[in-house]
Amino acid sequence: MSEHEDRDIILDLFGELDETEHADLEERLATAPELRRRRARFHAVIERYRSEGEEEPPPVRIASSRPGRSTGWLLRIAAMLLVASLAFFAGRATREPGTGEPGGDLDALTMETARLRRQVALLALQQRRATERIAAIEDLAAQAPGDPALAGALWRSLRDDPSVNVRLAALDALFSAPGIAPPSADVERLLASEPETAMRLALVGWLAAAQPAGWEEALREVGESDESTAVRSRVRELLGGVA
């Protein structure tokens, strides 16, 4: 069962798939009994909450130690994913003996929950609003700061997100996870393509702090070629006057 399929099932239950995506999912469901069983269990949990008259699922602290952080509909999905994962494993333990699966194994449940939480955060990186993408990056950074898969998502945001504010949030998250610095050549390419002076200033600071192999040469190159006086001056300061 792939993360992609779980994500599509959950989104479909909340009516978030368009017609084409829904039709594609229905086609897959028609030929995959296990997929249909998962959808039925997720659906049962959601319906139980609705029938008990709760408009919102119980508050669930998703990612960080900061209480009450709200990401709107994503929080609802994330809460449902956690509950659905609990129901799923509870169901497997009581209804599917002899499958060889861990069943009620707490470790397996913890891993599944963490996987689903990362899925929600990665989905949130595709949100239309920059403020929601910033919130998603904050959650990713708090969940697993050294996770290479998450580092890849943060790097893509730093390289490709159209919002300077989001790119800065991605850089902040990479600052907080020193073990996942990319090669300095990649950072040099990023510096060459970054249009905003404020971001290039932040990037040279990060390069000087992370110090990946070849960082001094990369900084000198930027210090000689950057179009901004402020960036060139900053590089000189970071290199201690040796430009």
Is 45 or 136 the residue whose CB approaches other proteins more closely?
Answer: 136
- In the complex with other proteins, which residue's Cβ is closer, 93 or 198? 198
User: Nearest-CA neighbor of 218 among 238, 241, 199?
Assistant: 238
Q: How far is CA 61 from CA 78, 143, 159, in A?
A: 10, 12, 30
CB of 139 to other proteins, least distance (A): 11
What's the min distance (Å) between Cβ of 104 and other proteins? 33
Complex with other proteins: residue 71 or 157, whichever CB lies closer? 71
Helices in 96-183 by DSSP H: which ranges? 106-124, 130-143, 148-160, 164-175
- To the nearest whole angstrom, how small is the minimum distance from the Cβ of residue 202 to other proteins? 7
Note the Cα 126 to chain centre separation in Å: 9
In angstroms, what is the minimal distance from the CB of 204 to other proteins?
Answer: 9
Spell out the alpha helix ranges (H) of 31-105: 33-51, 73-95
Give the footprint of other proteins on this chain (CB under 8 A): 64, 66-71, 129-131, 134-135, 138, 141, 145, 163-166, 168-169, 172, 175-178, 196-198, 201-202, 205-206, 208-210, 228, 230, 234, 238
